[in-house]
Structure 1
Amino acid sequence: MKIFPAIDIKDKKCVRLVKGDFDNKTEYKNSPVYQAKSYKDQGFKNLHIVDLDGALTGETVNVDIVYEIVKKSNLKVEIGGGIRNFESIKKYIDAGVEKVILGSAAIKNKDFLKDACLKFPGKIALGLDAKNGKLSMSGWKESSNKSTLDFLKEVNNYGVSRLIFTDIEKDGTKESPNFAETSKVASISNCPVIISGGVSSINDVIKARNMENIEGIIVGKAIYDGDIKLEELVKEDA
């Protein structure tokens, strides 16, 4: 199973939000580039990045930082946040990222998601962020009335190469992921699923390993706060 340490970028700093609330954030002293390099030095192979500035503005605000991370760390990077056109996708692919995550733009325009999968085969991941079973968009500022499972069924054959499922109510809380809802998503998804939101301990990681159609898990605040020992976590990164 793949372990994705998480770096959320806001104002060129590493931050963590609680339940997607931009007013409830913690800033960390390490720069995103330094933090990525430290993960590489620890032995991790993958990295999950969210451009929070991009999520709010719809622009690839931090593409230069992402390029530097890829260049200096040589990690397999997936990136999301504010990616709403082909030009932005191409910028990140040209920067060397492995997967580009489409979220709000895909939910609002399914044709864009379908065309992106055709234009950039194997490079497009779908990010589904949910609260009480309903999808949220635009940096979690905007709610929809569409259920996660219904939307997934509609786009399941588009050619998405990876699905990142986040329960907003769990994100940044360290209360363990919503395994039950994630299992429902994974059971119908045509592509492998990444678990996101609420990882609290190595036990969450071990539990995820034993689930069907789970490719990996994203770990954020539990790393920054020292709740998970990196040497234990990196052993799970296969």
Structure 2
Amino acid sequence: MKIFPAIDIKDKKCVRLVKGDFANKTEYEMSPVEQAGKYYDHGFKNLHIVDLDGALTGETVNLDIIQEIVTKFDLKIEIGGGIRNFESIQKYTDAGVEKVILGSAAIKDKNFLKDACEKFPNKIALGLDAKDGYLSVSGWKENSNQLTLDYLKEVNDYGVSRIIYTDINRDGMKQSPNFDETSKVSEISNCPVIISGGVSSLDDIKIAKSLKNIEGIIVGKAIYDGDIKLDELTREID
């Protein structure tokens, strides 16, 4: 199973949010490039990056940082945050990222998702951010009134290469991921699923490994706060 340490970028710094709340954020001293280097030095192969500035503006605000990370380290990167058009997808794929995550734009416009999957085969990941079973959009500030599983059934044949499923109520809370809901998603999904939100211990990693159609898991705040040691986490990489 793949383990994706997370880097959230805001104002050129590494930050972590609680339940996606920009007013409830913790800034960390390491720069995003230094943090990526730390993960690389510990033997991680994959990296999950969210451009929070991009999520707010809809622009590729931190493209230069992403390019520097790709150039310096041999890491497979998935990047998300406010990616709303083909131009942004192209910029990231040109920069060398492995997967581009579409979220709000794909949920608001299913045709955009379908066209993106056709135009960028095997490059598009779909970010499903859910609260109480319903998808949220626009930096989690809006409820889309769409049930997660209903939406997934509608787009299941579009050619998405990966799904990142996040339970917003768990994100940044270190209360363990919502494995029940994630399992429901992974059971019907035509592509593998990444678990996101709430990872608190190595036990969560072990549970994730026992589930079907799970490609990997994202670990964020638990690393930054020292609850999970990087040396221990790298032993869980398959």
Give deviations 1:144-189, integer Å, cap 9, x for gaps: 1000000000000000000000000000000000000000000000
Alignment of 1:185-204 (within 5 A): 185-204=185-204
Report the number of matched residues.
238
Alignment of 1:1-238 (within 5 A): 1-238=1-238
TM-score, scaled to structure 1: 0.99
Percent identical: 78
Shift of 1:136: 0.6
What stretches of structure 1 of length at least 5 have no aligned partner?
A: none
Q: Give the letter for the 1:92 counterpart.
A: Y
Counterparts of 1:219 and 1:192, CA distance in 2:
17
Structure 1 residue ranges, 4+ long, deviating more than 4 angstroms after superposition? none
Give deviations 1:117-149, integer Å, cap 9, x for gaps: 000000000000000111011111111100000
SS in 2 for 1:228: coil
SS in 1 for 2:84: coil
Q: CA RMSD in A?
A: 0.5
Counterparts of 1:227 and 1:136, CA distance in 2:
28
Give deviations 1:64-103, integer Å, cap 9, x for gaps: 1111111111200000001000000000000000000000
Q: Give the letter for the 1:156 counterpart.
A: N
Counterparts of 2:171 and 2:80, CA distance in 1:
16
SS in 1 for 2:195: strand
Counterparts of 2:58 and 2:141, CA distance in 1:
13
Counterparts of 1:63 and 1:138, CA distance in 2:
20
Q: Give the letter for the 1:39 counterpart.
A: Y
What stretches of structure 2 of length at least 5 have no aligned partner?
A: none
Counterparts of 1:141 and 1:65, CA distance in 2:
26
Counterparts of 2:136 and 2:156, CA distance in 1:
18
Counterparts of 2:64 and 2:80, CA distance in 1:
14
Counterparts of 1:64 and 1:126, CA distance in 2:
23
TM-score, scaled to structure 2: 0.99
SS in 1 for 2:79: strand
SS in 1 for 2:23: strand
Counterparts of 1:201 and 1:82, CA distance in 2:
29
Counterparts of 2:74 and 2:100, CA distance in 1:
16
SS in 1 for 2:129: strand
Counterparts of 2:80 and 2:74, CA distance in 1:
18
Q: Which is further off, 96-105 or 68-77?
A: 68-77
Give deviations 1:30-50, integer Å, cap 9, x for gaps: 000000011000000000000
Shift of 1:236: 1.4
